[in-house]
Structure 1
Amino acid sequence: MHVLGLTGSIGMGKSTAARMFQRLKVPVHDADAVVHQLMGKNGAAVKDISALFPETKTNNGIDRKKLGDAVFRQPEKLKQLEAILHPLVRQKMHRFIDRYARQRRELVVLDIPLLFETGGDRFCDSVLVISCPKYIQDQRVLSRKGMTAEKYQGILKKQMPDMEKRARADFVIRSNQGRRYSFQQVQQIVEKLGSSDKSAHGTKDRKFCPHLSLIYKQ
């Protein structure tokens, strides 16, 4: 089974690309959704996070806005928060991979915003980075409700620069060229790396072919 890591800096269009893989019936592990679940009502991370940030606890779990504000005010606690969340997220990721490996699927996608930053790429056979020009990224992010220039810069500081991500990627899709173009690129990746709609019964694990990066990495 081929494990494709999907990542990209904030505002690049990674979530849109993830939905395109889902549209093609490729199983997608959404790390953000897992984090929301872990911090939701009765979530596995609620007890430890509320001990670290008592003001964030509610009857429905952790208030993510309050948590974001708390981390922004106390950046020295970020590593402690990551130490709580990352092992739990990784556990869910491995369960996802194991489940679809047992089903003998040819391709799965790990949608992880901080893939390189957390070392998640070591669990991937190849990595797709979604990118776009900086001015478009700025427009997209700063138009979001509740986003400020200060918050935006704080997020960027925690993320690997886009140029470095692209240099480390096996595939790059530039989302500013339109959704139709992006979907065509996703389709081609699915066709190259595995079946989008059937199990791979009787086949060996598919390995990444280095020459494929020449098609997409521009």
Structure 2
Amino acid sequence: MLVVGLTGSIGMGKSTVAGMLRARAIPVFDADAEVHRLYAGEAAPLIEAAFPGTTLNGAVDRARLAATLADSAGRFRELEAIVHPRVTAAERRFLKDAHERGDPVAVLEIPLLLEVGRHLHVDAVVVVSAPADHQRARVLDRPGMTEARLEALLERQLPDAEKRRHADFVVDTGGTLADTEAQVDAILKALPSRPAEAYERHWR
């Protein structure tokens, strides 16, 4: 089974590409969705203990957590130490299930794939990209988003150009949906030629 890492900076269109993959019967693990689940469940009391006042009704209040981290950005590693091992365990379960089903390809959608070194644990890296003006317009159109918050998010991510340099494949979402679909299909056609080694090496 080939393990593919799907990544890209905020507002580049990862969710759109992930949806296209799912529509083609490719299983996709959404790391962000798993973080949301953890914030509403098992990780909430641990985060509250580390960052008092950041939960509400038993779940992490993302606005409160963001405000706390903004005052002490160096504490991101404490948060990551709570969340990342649990996300990794969920990824491992996802890949095991995909392998047992006999799926030829499984995708891990991880926004910080390159930043945290997870690209070393996949067989191919797909970077979703778009022109900077498209990215900015998409992100600032989101509810509650501000220029300052966007800049803070971008500071935690590698520049798009650097991400593209690490990519085995790039999907440019700056055009039409049909253009994006065609790029996704071309990647799926090319993937079987790559050696599938990551699952046995890193995920068994």
Answer yes or no: same fold by TM over 0.5: yes
Quick check: 1:115–1:121 contact (8 Å CA) kept in 2? Answer: yes
Matched, 1:48 2:46: yes
Quick check: 1:106–1:206 contact (8 Å CA) kept in 2? Answer: no
Distance, in Å, in 2 between the alignment partners of 1:142 and 1:46 is 28
Cα drift, residue 188 of structure 1: 2.2
Distance, in Å, in 2 between the alignment partners of 1:162 and 1:64 is 25
Larger deviation, residues 110-119 vs 61-70: 61-70
Cα drift, residue 206 of structure 1: 6.0
Alignment of 1:114-193 (within 5 A): 114-193=112-191
Distance, in Å, in 2 between the alignment partners of 1:22 and 1:84 is 29
CA RMSD of aligned residues (A): 1.5
| SS of the residue 1:32 aligns to | helix
Cα drift, residue 65 of structure 1: 2.0
Q: Deviations over 1:30-75 (max 9, x none)?
A: 00000011111xx221121011222122224111222122212221
* Structure 1 segments of 4+ aligned residues over 6 angstroms from their partners: none
Identity of aligned residues (%): 42
Quick check: 2:7–2:126 contact (8 Å CA) kept in 1? Answer: yes
Quick check: 2:5–2:126 contact (8 Å CA) kept in 1? Answer: yes
Distance, in Å, in 2 between the alignment partners of 1:83 and 1:36 is 16
Cα drift, residue 105 of structure 1: 0.9
Matched, 1:67 2:65: yes
Cα drift, residue 24 of structure 1: 0.8
Task: Name the amino acid aligned to 1:36.
Answer: H
Distance, in Å, in 2 between the alignment partners of 1:206 and 1:189 is 11
Quick check: 2:45–2:58 contact (8 Å CA) kept in 1? Answer: no
Cα drift, residue 191 of structure 1: 2.9
Quick check: 1:3–1:126 contact (8 Å CA) kept in 2? Answer: yes
Quick check: 1:4–1:127 contact (8 Å CA) kept in 2? Answer: yes
1:207 corresponds to which of 195, 199, 202: 195
Distance, in Å, in 2 between the alignment partners of 1:142 and 1:55 is 28
How many residue pairs align between the two structures? 196
Aligned partner of 1:214 in structure 2 is none
Task: Name the amino acid aligned to 1:180.
Answer: A
Cα drift, residue 26 of structure 1: 0.5
1:88 corresponds to which of 86, 89, 109: 86
Distance, in Å, in 2 between the alignment partners of 1:33 and 1:2 is 22
| SS of the residue 1:177 aligns to | coil
Give TM-score scaled by structure 1 length. 0.85
Cα drift, residue 192 of structure 1: 3.0
Structure 1: which 5+ runs fail to align? 195-204, 209-218
Task: Name the amino acid aligned to 1:5.
Answer: G
Cα drift, residue 190 of structure 1: 2.0
Aligned partner of 1:197 in structure 2 is none
Aligned partner of 1:23 in structure 2 is 23
Distance, in Å, in 2 between the alignment partners of 1:76 and 1:170 is 32
